[in-house]
Chains A and B, each alone.
Chain A
């Protein structure tokens, strides 16, 4: 069964540094998402991406964050200047479209981001 893959599985970065988290969504999917989960808390939506542009973003997704689909397969999340509170598990998800019916989102296993 096709999977969403994320790299790296664990990223350790100094505060203030830039970090890029990478995702390869399922190949025929059209919607892409980033979520984060701070330890012990719920999974929170960050941003959705469709047709090469952001379709929705949450309050968490401020100017420090950006997303990109640089080629036909990768989907990246960049944090420009990391803060201690950015430490979390970051999940990428993707979703296809079949007619008008809603489909589930398929999640990767995440990148654990630790900011020192």
Chain B
């Protein structure tokens, strides 16, 4: 069955450092992969989408890589800030524009001053 694994342990880093979050998937051939941020008691908020033919995507301090051979995506936040503290969800997605999102459980990131 399809499985998505994200770092199960919370990630604690110091302000200014780079946070790296991992998303591994099995029994999937996603056409693209999305990353969302979720704050406590709030809905997920879209951050980045990367397609299977893209190796890397950047947006401001965020960078996502997508390795379809390793079946893995890495999500980096550079120069991290306390406001980046949240849970980050990955969603590898197959096929056309209608498909539902199948989320991983998420990785909790805490950035301390």
Contact = CB atoms under 8 A, between A and B. Distances in A.
Interface of A: 4, 31, 33, 35, 41-45, 48, 50, 55-56, 58, 89, 91, 93, 95, 97, 100-110
Given A43-B44, A56-B98, 9 more contacts: A42-B103, A56-B99, A93-B43, A102-B31, A102-B96, A103-B97, A104-B34, A105-B101, A107-B45
Contacts of A35: 101
Nearest to B32: A102
Contacts of B103: 42-44
Contacts, number: 62
Contacts of B46: 104-106
A97 B97 CA distance: 8
Interface residues of B, number: 24
Contact of A110 (B43, B101, B102): B43
29 contacts: A42-B89, A42-B103, A42-B104, A42-B105, A42-B106, A43-B44, A43-B89, A44-B103, A45-B100, A45-B101, A45-B102, A48-B98, A48-B100, A50-B98, A55-B98, A97-B97, A102-B31, A102-B32, A102-B49, A102-B93, A102-B96, A102-B97, A104-B46, A105-B46, A105-B101, A106-B46, A107-B43, A109-B43, A110-B41
A48 B99 CA distance: 8
A79 to B, nearest CB: 19
Interface of B: 31-32, 34, 38, 41-46, 49, 89, 93, 96-106
B44 A107 contact: yes
Nearest to B6: A42
A68 B103 CA distance: 24
Nearest to B31: A102
Nearest to B34: A104
A102 B94 CA distance: 11
Nearest to B95: A102
Contacts of B104: 42
